Amino acid sequence: MTTGVWLIGARGNVASISMAGARAIARGVVDSTGMVTAREPMASLDLPSVDDLVFGGHDIRAQSIEETVEAANEAGGVPNRETLDAVREDLRAIDERVTMGTARQCGQVVEDLSDDGVTDEGTLADIVARIRSDYEAFAADQDVDRLVVVNVASTEPPVGGAERFDTLEKLETAIEDDDPDLPASSLYAYAALIDERPYVNFTPSTGSALGGLRELASQNDVPHMGRDGKTGETLVKSALAPMFAGRNLRVLSWEGHNILGNRDGLVLEDDANKEGKIESKGNLLEQILGYDHHNAVRIDYTPSLGDWKTAWDHIHFRGFLGTEMKMQFTWEGSDSALAAPLVLDLIRLVAFADEHGEGGEQPQLASFFKSPQGVDEHDLSRQLQRLYDYSERHLNDARPSGGTAE
Ligand code: NAD
């Protein structure tokens, strides 16, 4: 069984480093440190092997995957030269399988990034038909049995009036009527789900979160999940906030300031595109702590930092005897090196869910996302427990006795 992977935003940092990482694992030059599926109990599941994943994708820029990885190596040292040289030929071959996508309703800043050849001519129905035939042609050419579609494209502005698309009927009418508010991420998601292809949205963009797309996924019994990979500051927050809650320490304010210098940071400089990201980064504290408090998140573009994102958080809290105290942390991470292993995990886990006929949203994958669709739980360890329980359940089912673990 061959698993194909179609990355929307294939020439961007997250996509390129994910593919470079997968090929480097396949060639034995790096190990799987950072991948959740390399740990037990997930490692014992019958997941598709990273070595065998076959990649293709859409982008709206002509810069090749190899050039993106080369630039990442030069600017931030990730991946290192040896790894890059080991996968260079593989990246060139994958780049041949990248086609131009659509930049509909992605905001001016994304339109400004796009090169000639973006297939925006025609109606929404034409664009959807083109995307579906791109998926189909890749699956046929590469002889893949299952194609997982993953959105790692630039963040779009949030959709205004999303309730207009809250049933499949309304959504399909909107496509027929060429509704200008439907964004590219939802068109790519529709094109995947309609043909029963599993879909993952690693970005804060709308993707499959529209009611009409959730209905389509349930109807076609196809797994999908999003939104916005939890890789840095929000990951730390979701591990740390339960400590304050558990010890009954009252958080008075939580300020987070992020600075980053890659293309994602440039796109997030635009207020419209930034809005979705701020929403998904800020929402979890209130759910974990259970009360309202002053909580602000800022994201600023600092070109000299490249892919190295720095987050500085200041937490002001009150304890026994009304004593006010403070905690601060600084997180410095290579954005793409944090995101890439999770993208590979999600591909494997969503393919596994599809293999087992588990359609709709995937709550066991909540720990991977800042705004997990259909899940209100944001506490990282509880989210991870769902994944462990899910994996144990499958392992138990697969045991010859069909029975319990020892
Ligand atoms: P990037 O700018 O390097 O890559 C995005 C790619 O998407 C670019 O190649 C761009 O040309 C392409 N693109 C934009 N609009 C497109 C469209 N409509 N169709 C096809 N391709 C399109 O950004 P990145 O650092 O790779 O981040 C990608 C996404 O992942 C962003 O939305 C980001 O917010 C999200 N994300 C990243 C991280 C992380 O890096 N740690 C964590 C969570 C979420």
213 φ, ψ (degrees, to nearest 5) = -80, -35
Residue minimizing CA distance to atom 4 of ligand 1: 12
In angstroms, the CA 6 to CA 15 distance is: 10
User: Does residue 87 share a domain with residue 220?
Assistant: yes
pLDDT score recorded for residue 405? 46
Residue 401 belongs to a domain? no
Residue 249 belongs to a domain? yes
User: Does residue 263 share a domain with residue 225?
Assistant: no
Q: Count the domains in the chain.
A: 2
The three-state secondary structure class of 403 is: coil
Inter-CA distances, 378 with 19, 42, 155, Å: 29, 21, 22
pLDDT score recorded for residue 406? 43
* Number of the ligand 1 atom closest to the C-alpha atom of 309: 41
Residue 400 belongs to a domain? no
User: Does residue 341 share a domain with residue 324?
Assistant: no
Copy the structure tokens of residue 390.
Answer: 């899910």
Residue 355 belongs to a domain? yes
Asked whether 209 and 373 are in contact (CB, 8 A), the reply is yes
Q: Which residues of the chain have pLDDT under 50?
A: 405-406
Q: Which of 264, 269, 308 to mutate for ligand 1's pocket (most ligand atoms within 8 Å of CB)? A: 264
pLDDT score recorded for residue 307? 85
Q: Which structural domain, as residue segments, surrounds residue 86?
A: 3-229+337-391
In angstroms, the CA 397 to CA 403 distance is: 7
Residue 164 belongs to a domain? yes
Q: Which of 61, 109, 154, 344 to mutate for ligand 1's pocket (most ligand atoms within 8 Å of CB)? A: 154
User: Does residue 111 share a domain with residue 55?
Assistant: yes
Residue 273 belongs to a domain? yes
pLDDT score recorded for residue 119? 64
Report residues whose beta carbon is within 6 angstroms of any ligand 1 atom. Answer: 8-9, 11-14, 58-61, 101-103, 106, 110, 113, 152-155, 184, 202-204, 228-229, 231-232, 262-264, 335-336, 338-339
User: Does residue 217 share a domain with residue 293?
Assistant: no
Q: What CATH number is attached to the domain comprising 315? A: 3.30.360.10
Residue minimizing CA distance to atom 17 of ligand 1: 103
Q: Which of 102, 152, 235, 279 to mutate for ligand 1's pocket (most ligand atoms within 8 Å of CB)? A: 152
* Number of the ligand 1 atom closest to the C-alpha atom of 113: 11
Q: What CATH number is attached to the domain comprising 37? A: 3.40.50.720
Give 14 Cα–ligand 1 centroid separation in angstroms.
Answer: 7
User: Does residue 217 share a domain with residue 74?
Assistant: yes
In angstroms, the CA 336 to CA 329 distance is: 21
Bridge partners of 232, per DSSP, are none
What torsion do the CA atoms of 269, 365, 223, 351 make, to the nearest 10 degrees? 100
User: Does residue 367 share a domain with residue 289?
Assistant: no
User: Does residue 320 share a domain with residue 345?
Assistant: no
What torsion do the CA atoms of 300, 303, 308, 311 make, to the nearest 10 degrees? -20
